[in-house]
Amino acid sequence: MTRPVRVLYLAGSGRSGSTLVTTVLGQYAGFFAAGELRYLWQRGEVENRPCGCGLPFRDCPVWRAVRRDVPVDRAGGIAARLRGRLRLRGVPALLRRHRRGRRAVPAHPDDAALAGLYAAVARHAGARVVVDSSKLPPYGALVGALPGVELRVLHLVRDPRATAFSWRRRRGLDGEADQRLMSRPPVWKAALLWLVWNTLTARLWAGDPGRYLRVRYEDLTADPEATLGRIAAFADAGPSTGTDAGPSARAHAGPSAAADAGPFTGPATVRLAPTHSVAGNPSRHRTGPVPIAADVEWRRGLSRWSYAVVTALTAPGLRRFGYPWRRGGPVAPRHEED
Ligand SMILES: [Zn+2]
């Protein structure tokens, strides 16, 4: 019997630092930064956009190997059907099924191709842990139900006023020179999506602490090396019970992430080698020494009106995740209870 593929799924809303976390995790031995795999069929296969390494997706050696094992001829159809299965308006029904202990996203014939993709990625990248930064909780639920996948969820949360501000910035989809811009939702929409996706992520997985880790962007940027090390150890830890897998399993798996020094050259500086992440924020192309620091431009840049709108719309989430109502108020100490 083949070993299941360990997938670390980055869940939550956009602009929460997931690209940075994925790129850094990809530097640890045994980790592969796959990027946003839900977009692989459309942005990778159909549109042939650049891989994290800079090559067009279909020319990248890693993805060329993976492509031989998955039905790329059906990529357009798989992409379209995925969009249909993961629609926002399907969330209430998804939650009802989850509460009743059923599959949150119903099975579909495409699931064999999706399961095959994760197995092929792990095989060709030689990875113990595949890092998928797709973020969308319904897709995470779908991946977690695929045969041969063992899911761990990293819930990344960031102050919604910061994410709303970040969404408004102009940014090329594949870097500064790209004329196509990433989507720029208005602040009210960014706020509502923040609330929906973060609440849904907690509902789906927070009840299972062996498989779920919640990290706030603000805590991560305050202590990057320790926090990334904690995330890597969580993703790489033995069977979901957290117990020791025994010497033979350890020997097979190689050195654990906890023993790996990782890419940090200082407590807040990483040395980044190129990754092969598919889709995602253009910052995934950054390489070399990169300082990790909190991006707090929003504190000056976000207008009073936008701040008030986002604060009002996300109020239940602010309390839950420990964010202040007032600008410049203290962020609650790290807390992981629900
Ligand atoms: Zn590549």
pLDDT digit string, tens, across residues 106-118: 999 999 999 999 9
Separation of 136 CA from ligand 1 center, angstroms? 23
Is residue 247 scored above 80 in pLDDT? no
Q: Which residues contact 180 (CB under 8 A, 6 or more apart)?
A: 172, 173, 174
Separation of 18 CA from ligand 1 center, angstroms? 19
Separation of 62 CA from ligand 1 center, angstroms? 6
The count of other CB atoms within 10 Å of the CB of residue 338 is 11
pLDDT (0 to 100) of residue 43: 95
Average confidence score pLDDT of the chain: 89
In this structure, of 205-214, 248-257, 295-304, 316-325, the range with the lowest mean pLDDT score is 248-257
Separation of 275 CA from ligand 1 center, angstroms? 7
Separation of 170 CA from ligand 1 center, angstroms? 25
Q: Which residues contact 87 (CB under 8 A, 6 or more apart)?
A: none
In this structure, of 119-123, 244-248, 259-263, the range with the lowest mean pLDDT score is 244-248
Q: How far is CA 106 from CA 71, 113, 173, 174, 323, in A?
A: 21, 15, 31, 33, 35
Separation of 268 CA from ligand 1 center, angstroms? 26
Percent of the chain whose predicted confidence (pLDDT) is above 90 = 76
Q: Which residue has the tokens 């790290």?
A: 334
Instruction: Compute the distance between CA of residue 329 and CA of residue 327 in angstroms, rounded to an integer.
Output: 5
Q: Report, as an integer, the average pLDDT of 179-208.
A: 89
E strand segments, 158-267: 212-216, 264-266
Q: Report, as an integer, the average pLDDT of 49-78.
A: 96
pLDDT (0 to 100) of residue 251: 38
Separation of 50 CA from ligand 1 center, angstroms? 8
How wide is the angle at C-alpha 325 spanned by C-alphas 170 and 17, nearest 5°? Answer: 40
By the CB criterion, residues less than 5 angstroms from ion ligand 1 are 51, 53, 60, 276
On the CB side of 12, CA atoms within 13 Å amount to: 26
pLDDT (0 to 100) of residue 110: 97
The pTM of this model reads 0.90
Q: Which residues contact 210 (CB under 8 A, 6 or more apart)?
A: 240, 241, 242
Separation of 58 CA from ligand 1 center, angstroms? 9
Two structure tokens written together for 211: 């498989």
Q: List beta partners, residue 149.
A: 5
Task: To the nearest 10°, report the CA torsion of 83, 204, 126, 128.
Answer: 180
pLDDT (0 to 100) of residue 248: 39
pLDDT (0 to 100) of residue 181: 55
Q: Report, as an integer, the average pLDDT of 220-229.
A: 96
Separation of 254 CA from ligand 1 center, angstroms? 24
Separation of 180 CA from ligand 1 center, angstroms? 21
Is residue 244 scored above 50 in pLDDT? no
Q: Report, as an integer, the average pLDDT of 5-31.
A: 95
pLDDT (0 to 100) of residue 1: 57
Separation of 184 CA from ligand 1 center, angstroms? 27
Band of residue 238 on the pLDDT scale cut at 50, 70, 90: confident
Task: To the nearest 10°, report the CA torsion of 137, 302, 322, 97.
Answer: -20
Q: Report, as an integer, the average pLDDT of 93-105.
A: 97
Name the DSSP letter for residue 262. Answer: -
β pairing state of 149-157 and 129-135: unpaired
Separation of 121 CA from ligand 1 center, angstroms? 12
E strand segments, 239-283: 264-266, 269-272
Percent of the chain whose predicted confidence (pLDDT) is above 70 = 87
pLDDT (0 to 100) of residue 334: 62
pLDDT (0 to 100) of residue 178: 57
Separation of 226 CA from ligand 1 center, angstroms? 28
Separation of 60 CA from ligand 1 center, angstroms? 4
pLDDT (0 to 100) of residue 3: 85
Separation of 94 CA from ligand 1 center, angstroms? 34
Is residue 159 scored above 70 in pLDDT? yes
Angle separating helix axes 111-125 and 137-144, nearest 10 degrees:
80
In contact, 194 and 159? CB cutoff 8 Å: no
